Structure 1
Amino acid sequence: MALTEEQKKLIQNFISQPTFRQHGGLLTDLDGTIVLQRNGKFIIPLEVQTGLNKLYQRNCPIILNTIRFPLSIIKTFAAVLYPLAQKPIPVISLNGSQWGYISLGENQEYRFTEAGAQPLKQADIQSCLANIQLLVQQQVPDIAVFYYPRDWTKGEIIWTSVETQVGEIAQSYPSASHVYSSSLAILENHLKAEDISMIFLLVKKDHLAGTFLQRNFQDFYTSTGVNKLTGAHAFVNQLGRTLKQFIGAGDTPMDVFLQETGAVIKVGNLPLDFECSGPLLPIETVPEMGEVFTQIAEACTVTNPSYQL
């Protein structure tokens, strides 16, 4: 679907601002925003790749802001994105918990270099463990705990309380580096032995008892107050910039960084559940992002060397 003249004008008005040309860029979610799932595989549509390539050619900084962990980004998208960027790719990962750059090493393998992190505090881990213990006591079936060490090379680790489920979980989540079963005490020792960036508690909601639902069941655990907005602030401020100078792109209520970007590209029909301070450009599908990115690139008629991260 072609962009309307009104949508094009919104883009041009924002791009024409000197603050964007000198210090701005694109801050975008991955899944559901520039990534589609087709036949069980995650892909960046060719239309979007073309638009991203044009942005990179204009030296438009692009920062990824995703729930994914660094190793997942590397294994799934680095081979597509890095040849377009031809330079280290800035990434905010794990719901704002860790940020840095994906680059190509001397051995031609992609790697992540941390620039900052906000790992879980011991109190946050203890709160998560208390909820896991309650679930186990209530004999809730199919509990799985996904956790992500700050050491990005360890990837995704999954714990289950039922030993017989290890094989099934490993098959269902090939992205996991390790799946195991143990006592809660051993899980606690593992979680407290090193910095953990994020924990995800997977439980089928229809198996939860009413008393647990009344505790406002939480599935994602980061350090208190950490999310995609705080992670974006931390990284962008570290670069000497502000969110108001960026165009934000996302598709779900988890993309809270959209609240404060200078302009917003909203993909799909899922309500965001929050107000955005910048003008909103709604589009229906991921492939349409390619046209939006192309329009942004075409509006960037002046290229400034300082316009690079």
Structure 2
Amino acid sequence: MPSLLRRALAPRPALPGWETLHDFADRWRAQPTAGVVTDLDGTALQERAGRSVVPRAIADGLRAVHRAHRPVIIDTLRFPMSVMREIAPDWLRHAGLPIPLVAMKGSQIGQITAAASGLLRFEETAAYPLQPEEIVEVLDGVDGLLRDGVDELRVFFYPRNWQVGEQIWTPRPAHLSEVLQKYPSASRVIAGPLATLRAQLLATEICMIFLLIDAPQDRLMAYQHTHRTSFFTHAGVDKRSGAEHLAARLGVDLACSVGAGDAPPDTFLSGVGLAVIVGNAELDYKGLEQTLRLPDPAAFGALLARLSTPDAKRR
């Protein structure tokens, strides 16, 4: 029996909570302005051999949503070049182009398209860079950590010029080769005093800064209010504000839409009709109509496929 026929005849996997979603599914299909907003890592992607991949169930779900002529907005902490290099070539095979994108915690918004040459490119429609005083505040925090002897720092920063990509600063030149090897996605790694970082950050528009402290947890415990990771964007900018901006531009009604995420930055979950929490994280977000917890990306993919298929709603 051909593989496609076997898949068509195979019993549908159990989908936790589907029996409670029939009414929402009917409304989603009937509402032409409904869509999908999804995080990537941990929600729609899986790690395999050190690579982030689109699992088959998500691919099936994306194709079903695409056939239903509904947009799928990617809302991610990733920077545009990362999405284009690692995710978009596979994603577009299932969801088509353009790919609506909210990048870097809502700080840069646009779409991934193809140039005449066939190469992928990012087209910005809005951006909310950090203000100089906000950057100085971050630098003051880094300075405080250095003065306290915490120098296992990595400061990732993302210019508005998406073609520049990801850049990393470390205060210890001896760590330069280690950082280069550990973060191959970086376009540039610099090392040196804080003044070097200050000059880089204040020389151009920066959309997001990510501070990583690569120190043992017992050392971090000595510093109150210090977190291993911190993301900094312009005041009032987050993944929900980004989703709202792009949804308005696309004519998508978030209150009728599905949103899926797996972590605290996924603030857009409070602004969608159906909030889908993927995985085990304890999140306070609730959908405007319903909230559903699913175990993994495969289950989320199954939800998208079933949601988009009218004759499957009672199965």
CA contact (8 A) 1:64 1:91 kept: yes
Aligned to 1:224: 235
Aligned to 1:119: 129
Q: Determine helix, strand or coil for the equivalent of 2:244.
A: helix
By how many angstroms is 1:182 displaced? 2.4
Counterpart residue type for residue 167 of structure 1: S
Cα deviation 1:29-52 (Å, max 9, x = unaligned): 101111011221111111211111
1:39-188 mapped onto 2 (5 Å cutoff): 39-188=49-198
Counterpart residue type for residue 272 of structure 1: L
The range that moved more, 282-291 or 69-78, is 282-291
Q: Residues 20, 71 of structure 1: CA spacing in aligned structure 2 closer, same or farther, 3 A cutoff?
A: farther
Q: Residues 33, 282 of structure 1: CA spacing in aligned structure 2 closer, same or farther, 3 A cutoff?
A: same
Counterpart residue type for residue 208 of structure 1: L
By how many angstroms is 1:174 displaced? 0.7
Q: Residues 284, 179 of structure 1: CA spacing in aligned structure 2 closer, same or farther, 3 A cutoff?
A: same
By how many angstroms is 1:165 displaced? 0.5
Q: Which runs of 4+ in 1 moved over 6 A?
A: 215-218
Q: Is there any run of 5+ residues in structure 1 with no aligned partner, and where?
A: 302-309
Alpha-carbon distance between aligned partners in 1 of 2:177 and 2:30, rounded to the nearest angstrom: 50
Counterpart residue type for residue 88 of structure 2: A
Q: Is there any run of 5+ residues in structure 2 with no aligned partner, and where?
A: 1-12
Alpha-carbon distance between aligned partners in 1 of 2:28 and 2:230, rounded to the nearest angstrom: 41
Alpha-carbon distance between aligned partners in 2 of 1:74 and 1:47, rounded to the nearest angstrom: 21
Cα deviation 1:124-167 (Å, max 9, x = unaligned): 10110001111111221311100000111111000000011011
1:182-261 mapped onto 2 (5 Å cutoff): 182-203=192-213, 204=215, 205-208=217-220, 210=222, 212-214=223-225, 219-261=230-272
CA contact (8 A) 2:220 2:227 kept: no
Cα deviation 1:5-53 (Å, max 9, x = unaligned): x51451x322322796221100011011110112211111112111111
Q: Determine helix, strand or coil for the equivalent of 1:49.
A: helix
Aligned to 1:264: 275
Q: Residues 233, 300 of structure 1: CA spacing in aligned structure 2 closer, same or farther, 3 A cutoff?
A: farther
Alpha-carbon distance between aligned partners in 2 of 1:85 and 1:277, rounded to the nearest angstrom: 26
The range that moved more, 159-168 or 241-250, is 241-250
Q: Residues 59, 247 of structure 1: CA spacing in aligned structure 2 closer, same or farther, 3 A cutoff?
A: same
* TM-score normalised by structure 1 residue count: 0.90
Counterpart residue type for residue 219 of structure 2: H
CA contact (8 A) 1:260 1:278 kept: no
Cα deviation 1:179-204 (Å, max 9, x = unaligned): 11122122111111111110001103
Q: Determine helix, strand or coil for the equivalent of 1:42.
A: strand
Aligned residues: 298
CA contact (8 A) 1:120 1:198 kept: yes
Aligned to 2:290: 279
The range that moved more, 80-89 or 144-153, is 80-89
Q: Residues 129, 96 of structure 1: CA spacing in aligned structure 2 closer, same or farther, 3 A cutoff?
A: same
Alpha-carbon distance between aligned partners in 2 of 1:300 and 1:181, rounded to the nearest angstrom: 58
Counterpart residue type for residue 43 of structure 1: V
Cα deviation 1:89-141 (Å, max 9, x = unaligned): 00101011111001111122111100111111112101100011111112213
Aligned to 1:21: 31
Cα deviation 1:270-303 (Å, max 9, x = unaligned): 11134443301221111112211110110399xx
Q: Determine helix, strand or coil for the equivalent of 2:47.
A: strand
CA contact (8 A) 1:105 1:111 kept: yes
* TM-score normalised by structure 2 residue count: 0.88
Alpha-carbon distance between aligned partners in 2 of 1:242 and 1:262, rounded to the nearest angstrom: 9
Q: Residues 2, 40 of structure 1: CA spacing in aligned structure 2 closer, same or farther, 3 A cutoff?
A: same
Q: Determine helix, strand or coil for the equivalent of 2:283.
A: coil
Counterpart residue type for residue 57 of structure 2: E
The range that moved more, 34-43 or 151-160, is 34-43
Alpha-carbon distance between aligned partners in 1 of 2:52 and 2:227, rounded to the nearest angstrom: 31
